[in-house]
Structure 1
């Protein structure tokens, strides 16, 4: 590897500049929520004498150890600290090796901890995995089927080799390929993309954001919860168009998840139908590969998906929180109308329409949508970012202002509770079988103006459209709905192809209190059957 490649690979390594393992400053344990506590033996690089202490881990990733009632030291765990299960001979050369956890802050500063009962050692390791990166794949998981591919990554299903009580049966693992990643011209940029994605997901534990469970250093493997269903893109493709009520409920959940990201000081930058996973009552915002810290002074990166990009990106203005709101507005528009706001047969033309931001809000496009909902939609899709609604005001209107009207076709409260996105997507999981939603909404039918009927386009017209939509200039077939153009300049646009698909989880989530409050308000407004 070159010197630059060595600087950015592996992505996760011990980077702490400390000269001691423990922080000895006093700390009050009473103010912390302890998630695991266990007596463990410990030795360090300074001493080979095993000593038993009480180890405690809180929900912020702070590890304490104490003797008697006195806290002796603590350390803040993070993605720059490594964990590894190793076999270690403790007392003599003839003694049998013991499975211990090595916690390493730098090349030379580490400790070993273990319990004589290996089951407790393993349980403690699994709790520590939430906050550090791990160097044991074979002892933790078995890779199963490939369920997605990207430009320099693959997504697998994984099964835990040792399953703890209440632990899911399946996970999803996004594996970054070393050779593919190192071949990137701007390696530094992709390094920070991956680091930012992990930083954000590690610090958000919210029902509507995909949960990152562990980071394993095996060509860099991110282990997330496994969503069994499919994407919102697939769901909308199947349903053609969603009701106003259902669209609002989905929008509210996405806005709540997005608010968590913004509160952390980051923007998502790639919100689109394909990056929302749904299965029955579950909804997850995924793919934080373009996430970055909010910068109010300048535009850092111009990446995004054509048709969803906030117009200010084309003008090289800073990408702030309302940039994500614009992309969320594109999703809302697509759900309400069944069509994308920007539609074209070619990528360059689509980008041009996205930049010009001339959007059709006509009543013909939204025949069954209330004026209050239309007002909110327009507020999300304002071309000028200073005129666009922010996430807090959006949530206020969704929850307090009761923007929908009982005069429209709205499903019963029972159907909302039991499945606003309530069909299984197992039958939609075949790869590369769906055309782009943009292309479908543009070309799925030809209107007969004289009779108001629909008819299929001629074979020649279908062939011509298919060719223009699905092949590049060299005649190579392209995946239709996952391109992510990088806006190198306002005058010259280079489109980068990516196939990042993320995975899907098998796990039931109770409806959050805020959603129940929203549904109860909906019931009172609609004056329909009793809410249960």
Structure 2
């Protein structure tokens, strides 16, 4: 292996710029969220004498050790610290060999920790694996069948050799092979791609982004252990369904946009968003494959890689790839779901790239049957050829969340709650649904209640008294006639939609729904969205 190749393999190495393992500066333990603590024995590179300490690990990856209930030191764990399960003889007796965790910061600075009950040692290792890279495979997983292939990696099914409580039965392992990687012409670029992929996934814990559980690095392999999603890709799903409804397409787009927001918030762009890089299984959806992800650079184009047919047009013009570049690729996915066809289609790669570059897109009504005008405006804004004219991610999310009606659940405090509930529907989509659950309620105190209901049942005197007392009075003491109806989820009306060639009429199952009430729902939704209705 040449000197240059040695520089880029292994991908992760312990750093040599420190002189001690522990940071002895005081730290307020009360401000840390402790995820695990255990009594462990420890041997350091300075001393061979086993000493028992209490070890604590925070959710942020800070490892502490305590003696006599006092914090003695701490260390921030990261991808430049390695873990390895090894057999260690702590005396000359053969029976004294135990499985220990070696936590290594540099070539010469490390510690061994263990518990005589191996179950606790292994469990502590699994917690530490969230933050460091691991140098064991056989002790952790058995590699099964190949379930996917990429440009320079393969994905295998992994089964845990020791399964802890609540641990999944299967994981996915994305495997990079040393020899294949070193054969790449631009080795430095791929080296940074892999490190960026691990950096991003380690720091995002979000429902719509694939979760990275562990990084395992062996002499010849690098394995990214992720959660396992049973279903196939969005490409396969769309191929089976031919075309998705406007409602389902918009819901999928919203989830992808929320996941992408997490990436952009870290200061990175994905750069390879496509149907094949979205996993979908029942109600689960995951954005995957961050192999081309890079830090956002606003001055110049760093890399021109991408998948033909999804590449933002500015890449062909050698302009910087910024957040709106990912928006264009999202637009290609949205276009494909709504129309059942890709915006750029050709039998040859070169011709496909040419169409992608020219960005002449067919938005005709014939290609998008039964798609609302509002959705078409949004799609065109996402796929604008000029990046400065393209909608940004925050505006896209605003449009998507406004166009979705809240699901009738008790907890609607966040956008995530909207997407986790049943699929919403915008007012422009009324013609595509037979029923719609409204979330408004006419005031029980209104003088404009339905006359037929009042005639059927005469209210009691107490009810009439409460009703009159609750009305507002004018200066002369007269009751005001205006209603104070408030949005509520307690009393839900069912709306029946009847469509004819000329118009669409919306009626209640029992009575007409006033048009001004529907207008209220439409105009007030933005301020009511993401609030908890009780």
Taking structure 1 as the reference length, the TM-score comes to 0.77
CA contact (8 A) 1:152 1:181 kept: yes
Note the C-alpha offset of 1:96. 1.9
SS in structure 1 of the partner of residue 127 of structure 2: helix
Which residue is equivalent to 2:132?
132
Compared CA separation, residues 317 and 195, structure 1 to 2 (3 A) = same
SS in structure 2 of the partner of residue 253 of structure 1: helix
Compared CA separation, residues 111 and 373, structure 1 to 2 (3 A) = same
Alignment of 1:54-65 (within 5 A): 54-65=54-65
Which residue is equivalent to 2:257?
255
For the residues of structure 2 that align with 1:229 and 1:530, how far apart are their CA atoms? 33
Which moves more between the two structures, 102-111 or 173-182?
173-182
SS in structure 2 of the partner of residue 330 of structure 1: helix
> 4+ residue stretches of structure 1 with deviation over 6 A?
none
Which residue is equivalent to 1:522?
424
CA contact (8 A) 2:251 2:423 kept: no
SS in structure 2 of the partner of residue 71 of structure 1: strand
User: Deviation per CA, 1:307-330, whole angstroms, max 9, x where unpaired?
Assistant: 100011001111011100000000
CA contact (8 A) 2:405 2:425 kept: no
Which moves more between the two structures, 520-529 or 287-296?
520-529
CA contact (8 A) 1:23 1:74 kept: yes
Note the C-alpha offset of 1:116. 1.6
Which structure is higher in RCO with an 8 Å CA cutoff and minimum separation 6? 1
Taking structure 2 as the reference length, the TM-score comes to 0.77
Compared CA separation, residues 318 and 524, structure 1 to 2 (3 A) = closer
Which residue is equivalent to 1:117?
117
| Unpaired stretches in structure 1, ≥5 consecutive residues | 405-412, 418-509
For the residues of structure 1 that align with 2:390 and 2:361, how far apart are their CA atoms? 15
Aligned pair partner of 2:297 in 287, 295, 306 = 295
Which residue is equivalent to 1:318?
320
Note the C-alpha offset of 1:360. 1.2
For the residues of structure 1 that align with 2:422 and 2:238, how far apart are their CA atoms? 26
Which residue is equivalent to 1:176?
176
SS in structure 2 of the partner of residue 145 of structure 1: strand
CA contact (8 A) 2:156 2:173 kept: yes
Which residue is equivalent to 1:227?
229
Compared CA separation, residues 191 and 364, structure 1 to 2 (3 A) = same
Which residue is equivalent to 1:500?
none
Compared CA separation, residues 107 and 141, structure 1 to 2 (3 A) = same
| Alignment RMSD | 2.3
SS in structure 2 of the partner of residue 230 of structure 1: coil
CA contact (8 A) 1:373 1:403 kept: no
User: Deviation per CA, 1:340-384, whole angstroms, max 9, x where unpaired?
Assistant: 111112111111111111111111111211111111111111111
For the residues of structure 2 that align with 1:512 and 1:40, how far apart are their CA atoms? 42
Note the C-alpha offset of 1:92. 3.6
CA contact (8 A) 1:397 1:403 kept: no
For the residues of structure 2 that align with 1:304 and 1:203, how far apart are their CA atoms? 24
SS in structure 2 of the partner of residue 344 of structure 1: coil
SS in structure 2 of the partner of residue 304 of structure 1: coil
User: Deviation per CA, 1:167-218, whole angstroms, max 9, x where unpaired?
Assistant: 0000111111111111111111111111111111111111101111111112
SS in structure 1 of the partner of residue 96 of structure 2: coil
Compared CA separation, residues 517 and 153, structure 1 to 2 (3 A) = closer
Note the C-alpha offset of 1:523. 6.2
For the residues of structure 2 that align with 1:250 and 1:144, how far apart are their CA atoms? 31
User: Deviation per CA, 1:2-23, whole angstroms, max 9, x where unpaired?
Assistant: 1111111111221241111011
Compared CA separation, residues 151 and 356, structure 1 to 2 (3 A) = closer
CA contact (8 A) 2:405 2:424 kept: no
Instruction: Say yes or no: does 1:2 pair with 2:2.
Output: yes
Count of residue pairs the alignment pairs up: 430
| Unpaired stretches in structure 2, ≥5 consecutive residues | 440-488, 490-534
Note the C-alpha offset of 1:529. 4.7
Alignment of 1:65-144 (within 5 A): 65-144=65-144
User: Deviation per CA, 1:193-246, whole angstroms, max 9, x where unpaired?
Assistant: 111111111111111011111111121111111111100001111111110000
Note the C-alpha offset of 1:50. 1.3
Alignment of 1:91-490 (within 5 A): 91-218=91-218, 219-402=221-404
CA contact (8 A) 2:65 2:74 kept: yes
Note the C-alpha offset of 1:67. 1.6
SS in structure 2 of the partner of residue 528 of structure 1: strand
CA contact (8 A) 1:372 1:403 kept: no
Compared CA separation, residues 375 and 523, structure 1 to 2 (3 A) = closer
Which residue is equivalent to 1:15?
15
For the residues of structure 1 that align with 2:164 and 2:257, how far apart are their CA atoms? 33
For the residues of structure 2 that align with 1:255 and 1:173, how far apart are their CA atoms? 25
Which moves more between the two structures, 262-271 or 342-351?
342-351
CA contact (8 A) 1:83 1:134 kept: yes
CA contact (8 A) 2:404 2:425 kept: no
Structure with bigger gyration radius: 2
CA contact (8 A) 2:44 2:112 kept: yes
